[in-house]
């Protein structure tokens, strides 16, 4: 029997009827089935999964910080002068004090002391070198003092004009009490060592200390 053209021919699928989605709706995108996940390393600038880690506190060296008391004074008071030169006395008569001072200079030079470190003062007659150099005028004489190239000899009366040197030697080769009054200032000019050649009693009286 022939088919009627007005009736459409319907073919059935082997898998059954096809479901057509409703108008206006799209078919949902299939998603993979979730399975066990491993912890992935977080990307730079992005924290990983889990609660945020608190910022660690500032490191402490010894417990809680405690204010320190400022140290302004020594634990015990220091009596006497803080620093001063060592004082050495060489007993000698007035007429032998200059020779004793010369021997002291030679000994210092032999032990390695630089000549410019030594200043020799006389309370009486000037040292022969000083008398000779002064004959050319005080300007050239004191210029040698300022150069500090060699041992310098001067009168104890001019000690205020002399600058400090590590070693000062005083030859008490005469002079009155006014000349001996320069001994305390000579001690101030001595940076490390003061050597006094002369009468021990006069020297002790002038320095005002048992040396």
Tens-digit pLDDT profile for residues 7-56: 555 444 444 445 444 455 544 444 444 444 444 444 444 444 444 444 44
pLDDT band at residue 89 under the 50/70/90 scheme: very high
- Taking the C-alpha atoms of residue 171 and residue 151, their distance in angstroms, rounded to an integer, is 14
pLDDT for the residue 18: 52
pLDDT for the residue 84: 85
Assess whether pLDDT exceeds 50 at residue 70: no
What's this model's pTM, rounded to 2 decimal places? 0.61
Mean pLDDT on 136-162? 96
Mean pLDDT on 151-177? 94
CA torsion, ordered 100, 92, 118, 206, to nearest 10 deg: -170
- Yes or no: say if 141 and 133 are a contact pair by the CB < 8 Å rule: yes
Average pLDDT, the chain: 74
* Sheet containing strand 152-155, strands side by side: 86-91, 190-198, 165-171, 118-122, 152-155
pLDDT for the residue 180: 85
pLDDT for the residue 60: 38
Strand partners, 122: 155, 171
- Yes or no: say if 153 and 126 are a contact pair by the CB < 8 Å rule: yes
pLDDT for the residue 110: 97
Position with higher pLDDT, 148 vs 57 = 148
pLDDT band at residue 207 under the 50/70/90 scheme: confident
pLDDT for the residue 66: 42
Q: What percent of the chain has pLDDT over 70?
A: 59
Residues 6+ apart with CB under 8 A from 127: 98, 120, 153, 171
pLDDT for the residue 175: 85
């Amino acid at each position: 029997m022939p088919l009627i053209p007005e009736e459409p021919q319907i073919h059935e699928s082997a898998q059954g009827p096809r479901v057509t989605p409703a108008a206006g709706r799209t078919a949902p995108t299939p998603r993979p089935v979730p399975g066990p996940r491993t912890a992935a390393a977080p990307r730079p600038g992005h924290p990983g999964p889990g609660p945020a880690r608190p910022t660690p506190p500032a490191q402490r060296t010894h417990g809680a910080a405690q204010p320190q008391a400022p140290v302004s004074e020594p634990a015990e008071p220091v009596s006497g002068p803080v620093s001063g030169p060592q004082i050495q006395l060489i007993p000698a008569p007035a007429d032998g004090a200059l020779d004793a001072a010369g021997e002291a200079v030679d000994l210092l030079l032999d032990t390695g002391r630089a000549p410019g470190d030594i200043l020799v003062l006389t309370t009486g007659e000037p040292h022969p070198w000083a008398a000779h150099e002064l004959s050319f005028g005080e300007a050239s004489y004191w210029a040698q003092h300022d150069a500090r190239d060699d041992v310098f000899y001067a009168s104890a009366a001019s000690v205020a004009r002399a600058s400090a040197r590590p070693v000062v030697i005083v030859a008490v080769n005469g002079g009155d009490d006014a000349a001996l009054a320069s001994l305390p200032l000579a001690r101030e000019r001595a940076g490390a060592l003061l050597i006094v050649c002369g009468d021990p009693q006069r020297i002790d009286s002038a320095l005002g200390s048992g040396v």
